Amino acid sequence: MSYVARGLFITLEGGEGSGKSTQAKKLLATIESLGHEVIVTREPGGSPGAEAIRSLLVTGDADRWDGMTEALLLFAARKDHVERTIRPALEAGRIVICDRFTDSTMAYQGYGHDLGRETVEKLNGLVLDGFEPDLTLILDMPPEEGLKRAVSRGGAEQRYEDMDVAFHHRLREGFLDITKRAPSRCRVIDAIGSEDEVASRLQEFVLPVIGSWYG
């Protein structure tokens, strides 16, 4: 394989229960089987400090934080995650698959909670200084379907699932608007169908990109 200066940074985005974590694992296995070095990580979290912040975000009452406080916690976690986990892996030439990243903050706090896209963009510029994914896959489905999946999965981390359905619709529209504004980075993937069907839609798009990145 030829020398590559930097690995490929792929993010998976979308609403609650759209299959991000399921598909991250499947994509990891597929990419590994092709002989690439790849890691999966997630947000909020992905480094010890960021995982500690995660528990403040995903448990407790739905109105536990105001939008700005929540965005600051998310960016604090993200900064730690980027410096300690993501950037070192990319610098070693690895592919990094991240389950949620800045686009989730844009969708949830920017569009969902009315903090506004400009405020989230400003925070992003300040904290991450332009660092962004090379490729973002947005798993799209009606929010009611995703919430059904997430509820049947259960678990204690349900703070976002507890927000009202109108919020989840704003979230979906937010992700679609993010894609419109960054069409060369983002790709919307239909998340309805079996796990394998969705996985092959993702592969169809990602594998050629990996081929040309490491070609």
Q: Which residues of this chain interact with ligand ATP, rule CB under 6 A? A: 14, 16-22, 149-150, 153, 193-195, 198
| C-beta of 33 vs 194, nearer to ligand ATP | 194
CB 37 within 8 A of CB 95: yes
Q: How many CB atoms lie within 10 A of CB 22?
A: 19
Minimum gap (Å) between residue 209 Cβ and Mg ion? 23
- Under rule CB under 5 A, how many of the chain's residues touch Mg ion? 2
Question: Binding of Mg ion at residue 21 (CB under 5 A)?
Answer: yes
Minimum gap (Å) between residue 200 Cβ and ligand ATP? 11
Query: Six-digit token pair at 212?
Result: 């040309």
| C-beta of 16 vs 140, nearer to ligand ATP | 16
- Distance, in Å, from the CA atom of 142 to the CA atom of 144, rounded to the nearest integer, reads 6
Counting beta carbons within 10 angstroms of the beta carbon of residue 84, is it exposed (0 to 12), middle (13 to 18) or buried (19 or more)?
Answer: middle
Minimum gap (Å) between residue 89 Cβ and ligand ATP? 21
Question: Binding of Mg ion at residue 119 (CB under 5 A)?
Answer: no
| C-beta of 153 vs 181, nearer to ligand ATP | 153
| C-beta of 25 vs 117, nearer to Mg ion | 25
By DSSP bridging, strand 186-190 and strand 9-14 are unpaired
- Interface segment toward Mg ion; rule CB under 5 A; list 15-23, 44-52, 60-68, 149-157: 15-23
Minimum gap (Å) between residue 18 Cβ and Mg ion? 9
Q: How many CB atoms lie within 10 A of CB 67?
A: 17
The amino acid sitting at 69 is T
- Interface segment toward Mg ion; rule CB under 5 A; list 2-10, 13-21, 141-149, 195-203: 13-21
Residues 6+ apart with CB under 8 A from 43: 50, 74, 77, 78, 81, 98, 99, 100, 101, 104
CB 178 within 8 A of CB 187: no
Residue 46, contacted partner among ligand ATP, Mg ion, none, CB below 5-8 A by kind:
none
**Best CA proximity match to 12, nearest among 149, 159, 163, 205:** 205
Minimum gap (Å) between residue 196 Cβ and ligand ATP? 8
